[in-house]
Chain A
Amino acid sequence: MTLNAWIPVFALMTSLIASLVIFALPEKGYRLRTAVNLVAALLKLGLVVVMVRGVFLGVDYGVSFTMVPGVTFVLKADAFSMMFAGLSAVLWLLTTIYAVGYLEDSPNRSRFFGFFSLCVASTMGIALAGNLFTFFLFYEMLTLSTYPLVVHRGTETALKAGRTYLIYTLTGGAVLLLAIAWLHGVAGDLPFREGGHFIDADPDIHRSLILIFMLLVAGLGVKAAIFPLHGWLPQAMVAPAPVSALLHAVAVVKAGAFGIVRVVYDIYGVEASSALGLLEPLSWLAAFTILYASVRALRQVDLKRRLAFSTVSQVSYIILGVSIFGPVAAVGGLVHLLHQGIMKITLFFCAGNYAETLGIHRIDEMDGAGRRMPGTSVAFTIGAFGMIGAPPLAGFITKWTMGSGSLAVNMDWVVVVLVFSSLLNAAYFLPVLYRLWFREAGVTWPHERHWGRLETSAWLYWPPLLTAAMTVMVGVLASLPFSPLSWAELIMLREYAP
């Protein structure tokens, strides 16, 4: 095999090896651990950049071997996988930086970073998986490697949240496995392929295909937190902030959404999905989730829980986008995969900063925090406005593209959903911003720490600002080549004209 074939494997291995090394390091090896983390993250980013360029030029990256008789293990880089891989590579770097600062002086750091890298490896595997079987492999690996992070604090609440998380995800995994095995029985080993496999499917298997699709969505919907399978996500917010940030805003929920996109586009094929009548119910489900979770978010008093419900709502944008049969709307959905990740991670970083620097967890404690922590608060504001869909930020590009796309295929109700969702987003984010900037702070903060010159530790300070800057950049520069929007357009071009 050529070097190209191995690049995806290397990309996977960087974090896997980092994880093993970190497990082996002693708890006190702070510098070495940080160095290993950062070097691995940079290396991975470099590999992803190489692959992005290669995929754009049409280079074939991939490796496959027969794992179980009849099934192959396939790692492959296509345009869509690079989107997810790029997201996780960039955000892994930032989150690692953040986590180093966040977990300063807390126990069990080796364990934390080990599993953290393992999660990233799983995410990478999900991104690069070339068929459903391989996807499932990493999907479950992600479940397992996240659990120790959710229960990291070892408190009763954390363990309870961990249990809920497992009940949801493992059950979802079992359903997914059933669906994949069934599909395998019906149609054999199907690689992900633009245009899907079932355009001219035998009418005899239509019923099975529909049932399998429902099972697949149910299984993947747990991680994607589609209503009514979202219950684990708000509870999982007891995890340390970097975990909430990377995993529950980006990796885990996106894994579910990514899987659904894969199923719709690269297994069934969007035309076949539409012909089988699968897309419309999916779009209703997604639309309902968007609105329902936003309403729930309104009522949360804990900042991270509010963000969690917001995640539930926002992830369904992706589902909504792909369940509209039209390339433009789908671009909107796909691009949200990145946009939502960047925006939500910003918000979670900031929430972590408030918690770590000032001891703030509840929204009503945030009065006047903008003055004490302007950098963090600016980042939070940008993230929140991005979520609302205010132009020219990332969220606006999503909404605009998705709105135009749904109008183009005469699904006007989608626009109404988008606008309502924006209103609800505004309703639950603007009061927070108001408290941040326009309320006078109380006499003391619940638990304040000082870090010299900056408002907080430098490790915590820069990541949210960087992601906030990215939120602005991906919006403002949406039409540049290699911007998320252009990349999503490239994916759709290949999907609709395979």
Chain B
Amino acid sequence: MTLWLMAGLLFTPLAWAVLTLLTDFTRGRLVTWGGILVQVLVSLGLWLVVSRDGGFYYALGGWQAPLGIELRVDGLAVTFVLLTAVVASACGFHAGVYIDPDKPWHRYFWPLFWFLWSGLNAVWLGGDLFNLYVGLELISLSAVGLVALGGKAGALRASLRYLLAALLGSLAYLLGVALIYGQFGTLSIAGIVFWLEEHPVPAGSSLALALMVAGLALKTALFPLHRWLPPAHGIAKSPVSALLSALVVKASFYIAARLWLELGEPLGNLAAAQLVGLLGSAAVVWGSWLACRQMELKQVVAYSSVAQIGYLFLLFPLTYSVSESVSLQAQQGITLQVISHALAKAAMFLAAGNLVLSTGSRRVDALTGVSRFLPFSLFSFALAGVSLMSLPPSGGFAAKWLLLQASLGSGQWWWVLVLLVGGLLSAVYVFRICRASFLESPETNQFYHPHRSLEIIPMILALLSLGLGLVSAEVLSVMALPFEEEGSP
């Protein structure tokens, strides 16, 4: 059973990718929709298995580490797998309607989409540093390709810039991996932890960690390395932007977080943790500020991603040399933030895409009067905004609550200010959009009405992110599941 699930999870996307590569856009769409169904079912199945029986290591093809591909199937990983299934399928369905099938280069959307998905699953489940790297590269390359699908010169420029950043990040990460391998002789994270328990920390291994984290931070667009993100996310097609903002940046962060949680205590130090936290805070403030000042709707959303990603890096200071319970709160908070931001941001980009489609302009001030014509999309946008503003009952709120508790509990009250100010700033840019659309103006009453299904998908995502807060305890309970072979091999 598990075998089928794992295989289904990792390899069928590749199969769909190859299949869609061979057909045109319209047929690719059919294949994809079928594939999505399978993927969702498989992801759900795995999640059910883990939530019933607890997590486990899984050696792909029966080969044990360090030779084979070792997968770490724990609650967190399956949660993200499920999240990916939800968001990616939403984006897939949306893209099927949204993307114009007549442009010839659009047929490459589906293969890239599937490569991305399989890369994501590989990252969530990856147990050793090299396999994570492979997954990461798969993601980066397909993401760059997806951005380039925008077609115009601007899109190409943005995707090149993105590619450059991604490669640089990968390079740094790979360097770190090499150093680690040199020092510990293993690439399995669990193996390194095991090694560290018996030996003193070797000199220079901190550098390796720092390199890896820096590379991943670049890929995650942490301030001040964020410059590549807004153009890429802003100019891509809306479903692509949604995928990128919701999932892609989370993948690199996920690796960074796992590294930090496992290796941070022995290899890191307080200053580094605080520095990362500080950069995260700067991202929150600076990103929000820039989001408030953007003239184009999707740029607003893109800069909002920069800001929201900033929160994630508060994980570093909030888990370093603090009590067990505080650390747990911080981890739970960040997990929720990842999930709720993924759902909300996807909803927001999709809704923004609808608004752009409807007004025929990418500008914020073109939204005047749209509240009367497209209330549904606007409502989705605003609901997603609620989560970004971290207002109750959204998942963002639950995340913020836990982070607040962690900050107060560890005495690091300065992050409290960041959390509160960030919330207010995000309210400013969300309501700026609302304000523009509530404005009644006599001359604007020509709007294009997008297809109904385009409107429903972001609403579902927004509602999910909103409702996440109410069930956050259940969602997080998966994380606390028992895990087989704790501390081995």
Contacts and interface: CB of A to CB of B under 8 A. Distances in A.
B402 A68 contact: yes
A281 interface: no
Contacts of A184: 405
A122 to B, nearest CB: 10
Contacts of B409: 185
Interface string B167-197: 0000000000000000000000000000000
Interface in B416-466: 416, 420, 423-424, 427, 431, 434-435, 438-440
Given A140-B392, A148-B438, A181-B401, A68 B408 contact: no
Interface string A154-181: 1110010011001000110111011001
Contact of B440 (A73, A136, A153, A170): A153
B402 A159 contact: no
Interface stretch (B85-93, B231-239, B468-476): B468-476
A194 B462 CA distance: 38
A203 interface: no
B386 interface: yes
Contacts of A182: 408
A144 B384 CA distance: 13
A68 B401 contact: yes
Contacts of B473: 65-69
Contact of A107 (B372, B386, B402): B372
Contact of B435 (A107, A162, A177): A162
A156 B439 CA distance: 7
A148 B469 CA distance: 23
B34 interface: no
A110 B431 CA distance: 21
B408 A69 contact: no
B309 interface: no
A108 interface: yes
Given A68-B401, A144-B391, A178-B420, A163 B431 contact: yes
B401 A111 contact: no
B39 to A, nearest CB: 30
Interface in A117-170: 133, 136-138, 140-141, 143-144, 147-148, 151, 153-156, 159, 162-163, 166, 170
A217 B375 CA distance: 36
Interface string A257-278: 0000000000000000000000
A69 B440 contact: no
Nearest to A151: B438
Given A67-B398, A170-B427, A141 B392 contact: yes
B372 A108 contact: yes
Nearest to A150: B438
Highest count of chain B CB atoms <10 Å: which of A23, A70, A110: A70
Contacts of B434: 147-148
Contacts of B438: 148, 151, 154, 159, 162
A15 B369 CA distance: 27
B13 to A, nearest CB: 33
Interface string B360-400: 00000000010110010001000000100101110001101
A170 B424 contact: yes
Interface string A193-221: 00000000000000000000000000000
A69 B427 contact: no
Given A148-B438, A162-B435, A136 B392 contact: yes
A23 B377 CA distance: 13
A13 interface: no
A151 B435 CA distance: 8
A113 to B, nearest CB: 13
A114 B431 CA distance: 19
Interface in A60-113: 65-71, 73, 107-108, 110-111
Interface residues on A, range: 35 or more
B413 to A, nearest CB: 9
Interface string B328-347: 01001000000000000000
B332 A181 contact: no
A174 B405 contact: no
A137 B372 contact: no
Contacts, number: 99
Contacts of A107: 372
A4 B329 CA distance: 34
A201 to B, nearest CB: 18
B125 interface: no
A68 B424 contact: no
Contacts of B371: 108, 111, 154
B307 interface: no
B334 to A, nearest CB: 13
A73 B473 CA distance: 11
Contacts of A175: 420
A67 B404 contact: no
A15 to B, nearest CB: 16
A159 B439 contact: yes
A237 to B, nearest CB: 17
B431 A166 contact: yes
A137 B392 contact: yes
Contacts of B391: 140-141, 143-144, 173
Highest count of chain B CB atoms <10 Å: which of A138, A174, A185: A174
A313 B114 CA distance: 62
A314 B341 CA distance: 42
A159 B329 contact: no
A133 B398 CA distance: 11
Contact of A177 (B332, B402, B404, B476): B404
A157 to B, nearest CB: 11
B351 to A, nearest CB: 15
A173 B434 CA distance: 19
A71 B401 contact: yes
A69 B478 CA distance: 12
Given A67-B472, A71-B401, A174 B393 contact: no
Contacts of B398: 67-68
Contacts of B372: 107-108
A402 B434 CA distance: 44
Highest count of chain B CB atoms <10 Å: which of A108, A170, A171: A170
Given A111-B371, A166-B427, A67 B470 contact: yes
B292 to A, nearest CB: 13
Given A159-B438, A163-B435, A174-B423, A141 B393 contact: yes
A67 B469 contact: yes
Given A67-B398, A144-B386, A147-B434, A178 B439 contact: no
Contacts of A111: 371, 375
Interface in A37-77: 65-71, 73
B393 A137 contact: yes
B400 to A, nearest CB: 8
Given A67-B470, A69-B332, A73-B470, A181 B408 contact: yes
A53 to B, nearest CB: 30
9 residue pairs, one from A and one from B, having the closest CB atoms? A154-B440, A137-B392, A181-B404, A185-B408, A66-B473, A68-B398, A174-B420, A140-B391, A151-B438
Given A147-B434, A154-B369, A162-B438, 18 more contacts: A67-B398, A67-B471, A67-B472, A68-B473, A107-B372, A138-B392, A140-B391, A151-B435, A154-B439, A154-B440, A162-B431, A166-B427, A170-B427, A171-B424, A174-B424, A181-B404, A181-B405, A184-B405
20 contacts: A23-B375, A66-B473, A67-B471, A70-B405, A137-B392, A140-B397, A141-B391, A141-B393, A154-B438, A154-B439, A159-B435, A159-B439, A162-B435, A166-B427, A170-B423, A171-B424, A173-B391, A174-B424, A177-B420, A182-B408
Interface of B: 329, 332, 369, 371-372, 375, 379, 386, 389, 391-393, 397-398, 400-402, 404-405, 408-409, 416, 420, 423-424, 427, 431, 434-435, 438-440, 469-473, 476
Interface of A: 23, 65-71, 73, 107-108, 110-111, 133, 136-138, 140-141, 143-144, 147-148, 151, 153-156, 159, 162-163, 166, 170-171, 173-175, 177-178, 181-182, 184-185
